[in-house]
Amino acid sequence: MMAEGGAETEAEVRDKLQELVDKLYHFRDHYFETHNVEDAVRKQRDVKDQMEQTVALMDETDDTWKNKAFFLMLKGKALNVTPNYCTEAEEVLSKAVKLDPGLVEAWNQLGEVYWKKMDVTAAKTCFLGALNHCKNKVSLRNLSMVMRQQRSQDADENSRNIMDSVKQAKQAVQMDMRDGTSWYILGNAYLSLFFCTGQNPKISQQALNAYVQAERVDKTASSNPDLHLNRATLCKYEENYQGALDGFSRAAALEPSWTEPVMREEQLLDYLGRLCGLLGNKGKIRGKRLQNMLSSLSPGLLGHYGDSGGLQLKPLSALQPGKNPGLVVLGRVVFSLVPEERVPFTFGLVDTEGTCYAIMVYNMVESWGVLIADSVTIPEPHLKQHNIQHKGQTFAFQSIRVDSPVRLLVNGKPQGPSTQASATVAYRPQSE
């Protein structure tokens, strides 16, 4: 496109440069539409090569435009396409916002550069600066990420920051219901809220729904390894082990250089393998010792859950999947198993029929546990049946989920409030 006399107008230059940068980001975001997942190992190098070609073409632009804020913003955006911090991107974007403080996209890009630099305070200043000029979804969702990363010694302040993070992410979604990135960041905000406010099942469902919506409205979201890892983290906590293993595996395939999903997948496979082995041989406790342990199980160990509590003692084999209101189970501990992340505390429980189920306890202080031969009473047990297949391995077992040790009696004794603590689970919050 040429203006009369052969010289390009500013609008023509702007359009040409914008098209170059848009093509670069389309290449990155739609990489797996033109490449197989096996090519994931090359993706970052390919994006970097494409970025260098794009910047070289931009640098061929007439010098007249090179000190214009829009040129500097677009060049900074091109340099910022990779996941790593870029000094040159910071320099040109800083110059762009000085030349035109109202250039919202330059503020947002500069904020993302500071985010990659791990300068959370500077990133927040940029996103707030952009919002001062214009309410926009990019600043809102990036501010949501920043709010979750502001750590304080005050637990209440951390909770307020996470609540604010959810609010910002919701606003971003409301501005564009078809933006998958905003839905994904809302999912992360709910994930943080879930773990900081007592693991309310409604909040975990909101997180999962947001991730589903991200993939529904934006097919590129399915190529986001962070989304798969974070959703897998939630699936693991909710004992959807099939979903967790599939998610860790998918994240690892999409970003082969990222070791965390591989490690998490291996840890979960190891945990499930050891658990099934221990359940199969009842912790290697057999014969007379096991008989003696079980013969001393008496109704007196039901404590206040017994006659006065109105719960009916049933064998483990009588339980139905899901919650079992009005029932109580009693057994002896035959093994304990603590996964790498220490959540959940897991032990095997054998009842008088000799049935052995896994008991998974959450929200316990680190010092809490049970010993082999302890009796454990579980009111209104929540039964889960697991049938998991992953990479040639099969795991099938039954488990009972206990959301707090306070619910249990150990050797007939209540477990006090001091045994309870909030779970902390690692996930990956920083993604654009």
pLDDT in tens, 74-86: 999 999 999 999 9
Partners of residue 347 on adjacent β-strands: 336, 359
pLDDT band at 6 (very low <50, low <70, confident <90, very high): low
Task: Say if CB 192 and CB 206 are below 8 A apart.
Answer: no
Fold agreement (10-270, 283-419): no
Burial class (CB in 10 A: 0-12, 13-18, 19+), 211: buried
Identity of residue 250: R
CB atoms under 10 Å from CB of 152, counted, come to 11
Looking at the domain that runs over 283-419, which CATH code has it been given?
Answer: 2.40.50.550
- Please write the tens of the pLDDT for every residue from 119-156: 999 999 999 999 999 999 999 999 999 999 887 777 78
- Please write the tens of the pLDDT for every residue from 370-427: 999 999 999 999 999 999 999 999 999 999 999 999 999 999 999 988 888 765 544 4
Q: What is the pTM of this model?
A: 0.88
Four-residue CA torsion sign, 98, 101, 107, 111: positive
Question: Could you give the C-alpha distances from 60 to 13, 16, 53, 368, in angstroms and in order?
Answer: 11, 12, 11, 66
Could you give phi then psi for residue 143, rounded to 5 degrees? -65, -35
Provide the mean pLDDT of the chain: 92
What pLDDT, on a 0 to 100 scale, did the predictor assign at position 370? 95
- Please write the tens of the pLDDT for every residue from 149-175: 887 777 788 888 999 999 999 999 999
Question: Could you give the C-alpha distances from 188 to 184, 229, 327, in angstroms and in order?
Answer: 6, 11, 37
How, if at all, do strands 327-337 and 375-379 pair? Answer: antiparallel
- Please write the tens of the pLDDT for every residue from 300-338: 999 989 877 789 999 999 999 999 999 999 999 999 998
What pLDDT, on a 0 to 100 scale, did the predictor assign at position 157? 84
Four-residue CA torsion sign, 78, 255, 190, 338: negative
Residue 81 tokens, joined: 């396409």
SS3 430: coil
What residues does each domain of the chain span?
10-270, 283-419
Could you give phi then psi for residue 280, rounded to 5 degrees? -65, -35
Domain 10-270, CATH among 1.25.40.10, 2.40.37.10, 3.40.50.300, 2.170.150.70 = 1.25.40.10
- Nearest alpha-carbon partner for 163 in 180, 176, 144: 144
Our CA dihedral for 5, 10, 15, 19, rounded to 10 degrees, sits at 100
> How far, rounded to the nearest angstrom, does the alpha carbon of residue 411 sit from its chain's CA centroid?
37
- Asked whether the bond before 344 is cis by omega within 30 degrees of 0, the reply is yes
